[in-house]
Amino acid sequence: MISEADVHDMLESRDLIGIGSKADEVRRRWHGARTTFVRVFEIHVDAPPSSVPAGTSAGEFRIVGRPTSLEAAVASVRRAVSLADGVPVTGFSLADVAQVGDASSLALTCRALRDAGLEAIAEVPIDLMDEPAAAVAVARQAGLSVPRVTVHSIRDSDRVSLVNRVRDLQNTVGDIRAFAPLPRVMSVAAPTTGYDDVKQVALARVVADNIPSIQVDWSLYGPKLAQFVLTTGADDVDAISAVDPGTLGTRRSPIEEIRGNIRSAALDPIERNARFEAIG
C-alpha cells in the first residue's frame, strides 16, 4: 500500500506524467490492456417510459432519482424489469434507499426492491453515508448486489480521506467491483479542472489498490477526459448511451465511438453488463 508521504507527494506534484505512470502500473497489474465499458439505459424513478426507444442496446437498465416512497420505488423497479427483458436492472443510491422509511426499515426496503426484480444498488456515495459498511451488509443480506462506490461531491481537503474511506470499506465488506472517484455533482463556485480530475483518478487507483476497477462516467465527463484517464489509472467506462438514433452513421454510433476511443489509447475494449460479465 502507498505510504502517506507518497500520497502527499502525489498531491503536491505537478508531474502528471509521473503520477499517471504510477497509476497505470497498478491498473495494468489488475487488467493489462483490458478496458471495460457498459451501455446504460436510464429510467427515472418518477417517469418510467411506456416503451424502450428503437435502437436501444443496453448491458444495464438503471433507475435514477430519489424515490419518494417504497411504493414508488417498487413500481419503478417492476416497470424497469418489464422493459429490460432480461437485461440486469440496477437502481438508486444506497443513501437514498436508506432514507425511504426509517433506519430500522432498510432491510425491509431492500427485500421489497429485490422481490420486485432489482439486482443491484447502483451506487454507494461514500461522502453521504456515515456508516456505509453496515448499510451495504444489510442490502446484501436482502439479496442485492452492491458493486459500486461513488463520490457525490468533493472538496480539496477531502480528496485523500474519501479515497481512504473507500479502500477501508472494501477491506471491511469486500466484493466492491468499481470505484468512481470523480464527483457526481460539480461545485459552481469551485469546479474541478481536468488537471484535478486526472490526479484524482490516479490517486484513487494507487491508494484504493484493493478495488478491481476505477471508473469514469462517459456521459458526465465526456469522451476526451474519459479516454485520457484510461492511461492514468481508470479501466472501466460507465454510462455509454444505450440508444443509437441512427442519424450519425455507423462509425459515429455510441458503440463504435467508445470502442474507437479505447483502441486509440492502445487498449482493448470489452463490453460488459451490470454483473460485470463480458458481453462483447
CATH code: domain of residue 87:
3.20.20.70
Say if 278 falls within a structural domain: no
The answer to whether residues 40 and 242 touch, using CB atoms and an 8 Å cutoff, is: yes
| pLDDT band at residue 107 using 50, 70 and 90 as cut-offs | very high
Say if 279 falls within a structural domain: no
Report the distance separating Cα 233 and Cα 158, nearest Å. Answer: 20
| pLDDT band at residue 104 using 50, 70 and 90 as cut-offs | low
pLDDT exceeds 70 at position 228: yes
> What pTM value is reported for the model?
0.94
Containing structural domain, residue 220: 4-271
Grid coordinates representing 84?
429490460
pLDDT exceeds 60 at position 250: no
| pLDDT band at residue 129 using 50, 70 and 90 as cut-offs | very high
Say if 276 falls within a structural domain: no
Helix, strand, or coil here: 191? coil
Between 271 and 105, the higher pLDDT residue: 271
In angstroms, the Cα distances linking 266 to 16, 109, 251 are: 19, 44, 19
The answer to whether residues 16 and 199 touch, using CB atoms and an 8 Å cutoff, is: yes
Average pLDDT over residues 132-159: 95
Average pLDDT over residues 73-83: 97
| pLDDT band at residue 251 using 50, 70 and 90 as cut-offs | low
All residues at 6 or more sequence positions from 235 whose CB lies less than 8 Å from its CB, including other chains: 27, 30, 31, 34, 35, 36, 213, 214
Q: What percent of the chain has pLDDT over 90?
A: 80
Q: Using one digit for the tens of pLDDT, what is the confidence trace for 267-279?
A: 999 999 999 999 9
| φ, ψ of residue 63 in degrees (nearest 5) | -85, 125
Q: Output the pLDDT for position 246.
A: 65
| pLDDT band at residue 128 using 50, 70 and 90 as cut-offs | very high
Average pLDDT over residues 171-186: 95
Q: Output the pLDDT for position 198.
A: 94
pLDDT exceeds 90 at position 182: yes
Mean pLDDT of the chain: 92
Say if 196 falls within a structural domain: yes
Report the distance separating Cα 25 and Cα 10, nearest Å. Answer: 15
Q: Output the pLDDT for position 67.
A: 95
The answer to whether the Cα torsion of 199, 258, 214, 182 is positive or negative is positive
As for how many domains the chain has, the answer is: 1
Q: Output the pLDDT for position 189.
A: 66
Say if 143 falls within a structural domain: yes
pLDDT exceeds 60 at position 103: no
Say if 108 falls within a structural domain: yes
Grid coordinates representing 12?
503536491
Say if 277 falls within a structural domain: no
- Nearest partner of 193 among 8, 16, 65, judged by Cα: 16
Say if 259 falls within a structural domain: yes
All residues at 6 or more sequence positions from 271 whose CB lies less than 8 Å from its CB, including other chains: 36, 37, 38, 39, 59, 255, 278, 279, 280
pLDDT exceeds 60 at position 147: yes
Q: Output the pLDDT for position 78.
A: 98
